[in-house]
Chains A and B, each alone.
Chain A
């Protein structure tokens, strides 16, 4: 297989690209001939080409070698060969940032830019501006001004574009060239006029009034260049957006008037600008859509493409505005350009009625094999959107998707289809079995490990709960026989779930497991052995903890704790409760299908935000005895925006303590703050133990201080508390320019907003993929139930949202989604309470006058149950 690829590569490479196997060192060696006299222009040209090729391939040149090559190249200015000289300009531009002392060519370039050879002048200006810095710019200012108004268009354009680049670096110098740019803006040459307008705009873009004056002037006087018109339209629509100007603004009138311009380019730009305006109503859209409609029947493919692509976008926000074009779009369905046809169909799918879906899907299947993967993904996305809009159509879609799944296609395409099928399954329970069947068929011949494992995971989760789970076993076991290690391991895990859920399947699953225990791969064998032993116990609680719901700890945290444990061996067994929990649980939310560019390789497990905090806090001696970090909250702002000091707080919860981390920024450039700490007054029996001050807080450099608080031990139900906070510090006034502080300072304080600690700060979210198994596992020893009336809540959705955010627990089984038109709903929540006890909540909601809620709480610790019920009440 690998050999075959190699050969192909060679065949493709030979002859087509003479530079393919260039060696940097060999090329640099060759560059020595630049030093020879007389100069051989042809050979030198060839070597310069190689150097530029290498640079553009991303080859790294060290400073010394680059400088050496650059200086050798400067000698080529002796030659009067035109091609060679222009190649030198290119080389200068490419090497401007990697070689030292590039200013050595300043005089030579200045001479060329003011010389008699017009072919040298433009490129010399561009090269010169690349190597010039602000101090040097003054020296060539005179020449730049002359060049801007030069009568040779290429010279003038080069000078204008180079000036535009230099605005970023030397705004103040370039600003002095406005008069020259004005003059160039009235040039007869369309490019010069366009470039001049660009420069004028960039010089003024931060001054709204000046931009608006400029627009006013040019829209009145009119321009020759269609490019300049397009630019004016963009400037005008940006200004409209910034000033939130309405459709009665003269700027809008201008854009609308451009719909009647004689250049198609300008007409399209104006239509596109109108279509993209926020809060655009049908009345303003109509004329823009009608010019796009005209373009749909243009003989130019580019125009048809632009029009249908823009209409496709409009269709998302204003489907009704596009319906007028349906006839024209229908004609494009059979366009010989498949990109146009695809966009036309996907647009129609968005605007068309439910009845037209079948016809369109048929049309698109006739050529789906001819379009590129990229457009196929567009089709899949349209289908996905359609499924949400017309759930009743899911069987048509499912059929279509399964056909697509059988076609050839790359990973991104296949992934889009699989994701789309999975989301249909999740939204439409009645489509579950068909969907799973298609996916089973797909994994029978699937070369993408990532997709195969993903589907196996889904089969393990959903399969056992279908009416006839046995039919999936064959597909899963085939994987164990046929596939790579990763897929085999995933298949073993899926099998185990069938055995755990379905007693009648258990014997056969055990037999299959036995076979897996003979696998050649360690991981597969380990998994099989583990599941075998758990399954043989036939205990619901074990199944729930080890097969359905897995580990909920942070993997990097587990790794670290285990490492620590091996460093300090002890008699006590390793305690899983000391391992921090995973913070970002794998949400059951379906992932957006859109991001095609997301990394293709499975990502390396990056440390989470909490792992980072854990490490930072552990480095502070005062906090070393607190044990593992249990939870870190999102930052809470304790100051208004744009105050003298900006302070936000992150609440870190430990088993018996809380650490409040205050991130402070001093926004006064005439003050240096020292020994900064935040004093906290608790409303409850919380005890402030210690302050760790930020030693110094210079202007605009953020720093952190900490306050350590002990949680009340005798009253475990005291989980909420309000703290009044004040920042205390020593101020030293200082010189705003140098930052040099006065010798002595004075104490001061700054009152912050109150900080709340709530029950959510004591609970960490944990996802239980199989909630009912977990519910059984915890058992009803400490179950408590209570009923509440939520009078002020109007909808079930709102109630669900409120409970989740109040308790800070993880919704399971997608129960955070309330189906439409239902009067009752059950919400399942899971979490771990500070100290390491699982806590589960089942809330039955009923909508009548307001919402009635029956809450059932289970945990292995009675206190935890009480805390939850007390805080809800």
Chain B
């Protein structure tokens, strides 16, 4: 870090860098959510299923986020763990209209929580119950019940209903995440 950068850091001008993992089943809306959070001039027009992963960046009032947007398709899910170590926070996205695969989502979540690189860390997890605009979408409360989120005792977590197409609910979640990270650091 150059001197100026350090100076900016002390003065609170320079935003802190945070690495975030964005996980969840395929088609749940991970890429769409991250895309919405980017500045409008950097947003992509069409969103296609992710293959492997993508690295995206966006800023909030006090943090600079680097997001590893992972692919949710079955055959790539076992590649998530390569990136667990550097994640300082997790965004877990659920398609709340996909009742059929809710159990799959729960299974993947449990595997994640039991992974040695995650298990013993107090790492904040933000859940988005996405696609809330769809008619048969479940409420965030219902989703959290189905995923048994109340069992997560050793990590701060939060769930928000969201609509990645319109951008609704995203800000609330990201604000929570920012607060968590700041309290963790100080």
Q: Spell out A's residues near B (CB within 8 Å).
A: 35, 37-38, 71, 74-75, 77-78, 101, 103-108, 110-111, 136, 139
Contact = CB atoms under 8 A, between A and B. Distances in A.
Kindly name the residue among B51, B54, B82 whose own CB sees the greatest number of chain A CB atoms within 10 A: B51
Interface of B: 1, 17, 19, 48, 50-55, 66, 71, 76, 79, 82-83, 85-86
A38 B64 CA distance: 12
A107 B66 contact: no
Contacts of A111: 54
A37 B51 contact: no
A139 B79 CA distance: 20
Contacts of A136: 51
Closest 3 CB pairs of A and B: A104-B52, A106-B51, A71-B82
Contacts of A71: 82
A101 B55 contact: no
- Specify the main secondary structure of chain A where it touches its partner: helix
Kindly name the residue among A37, A104, A136 whose own CB sees the greatest number of chain B CB atoms within 10 A: A104
Given A101-B79, A104-B76, A107-B71, A38 B51 contact: no
A816 to B, nearest CB: 68
A108 B54 contact: yes
Nearest to A106: B51
- Specify the main secondary structure of chain B where it touches its partner: mixed
B52 A78 contact: no
Given A37-B17, A104-B79, A75 B53 contact: no
B51 A77 contact: no
A103 B17 CA distance: 27
Contacts of B48: 139
Contact of A139 (B1, B51, B82): B51
A766 B112 CA distance: 76
Given A35-B85, A35-B86, A71-B82, A104 B17 contact: no
Contacts of B1: 38
B86 A107 contact: no
A136 B51 CA distance: 9
A78 B67 CA distance: 9
Given A37-B19, A38-B17, A111-B54, 20 more contacts: A35-B85, A35-B86, A37-B86, A74-B82, A75-B83, A75-B86, A77-B55, A78-B66, A101-B79, A103-B52, A104-B52, A104-B82, A105-B52, A105-B53, A106-B52, A107-B52, A107-B53, A108-B55, A110-B51, A139-B51
A71 B70 CA distance: 13
A107 B17 contact: no
Contacts, number: 42
Contacts of A37: 17, 19, 86
Contacts of B66: 78
Nearest to A100: B79
A101 B52 CA distance: 9
Given A77-B55, A78-B55, A107 B50 contact: yes
B54 A104 contact: no
B65 to A, nearest CB: 11
B51 A103 contact: yes
Contact of A108 (B52, B83, B85): B52
A78 B83 CA distance: 13
A77 B83 CA distance: 13
A111 B52 CA distance: 12
A71 B81 CA distance: 11
Contacts of A107: 50-54, 71
A599 B53 CA distance: 50
A456 to B, nearest CB: 66
B155 to A, nearest CB: 21
Contacts of A101: 79
Contacts of B83: 75
A35 B83 CA distance: 9
5 contacts: A37-B19, A104-B53, A104-B79, A107-B50, A107-B53
B81 to A, nearest CB: 10
Nearest to B52: A104
Contacts of A108: 52-55
A289 to B, nearest CB: 57
Nearest to A142: B48
Contacts of A75: 83, 86
A77 B82 CA distance: 15
Contacts of B85: 35
Nearest to B44: A111
A74 B85 CA distance: 14
Contacts of B19: 37
A103 B79 CA distance: 11
A103 B76 CA distance: 9
A104 B80 CA distance: 10
Contacts of B17: 37-38
B159 to A, nearest CB: 27
A16 B90 CA distance: 48
A101 B1 CA distance: 34
A416 B52 CA distance: 58
A135 to B, nearest CB: 11
A320 B87 CA distance: 78
A318 B174 CA distance: 82
A38 B2 CA distance: 13
Nearest to A77: B55
A130 to B, nearest CB: 14
Nearest to A38: B17
Contacts of A106: 51-52
A294 B83 CA distance: 65
B55 to A, nearest CB: 5
Kindly name the residue among B1, B48, B82 whose own CB sees the greatest number of chain A CB atoms within 10 A: B82
A78 B76 CA distance: 20
B89 to A, nearest CB: 13
Nearest to B66: A78
Contacts of B50: 107
B48 to A, nearest CB: 8
Contacts of B76: 104
A246 to B, nearest CB: 54
Nearest to A140: B51
A679 to B, nearest CB: 56
Contacts of A103: 51-52
Contacts of B79: 101, 104
Contacts of B55: 77-78, 108
Nearest to B67: A78
Contacts of B54: 107-108, 111
Contacts of B53: 74, 104-105, 107-108
B75 to A, nearest CB: 9
A164 B50 CA distance: 26
Nearest to A79: B55
A102 to B, nearest CB: 9
A853 to B, nearest CB: 79
Nearest to A75: B86
Contacts of A77: 55
A136 B71 CA distance: 14
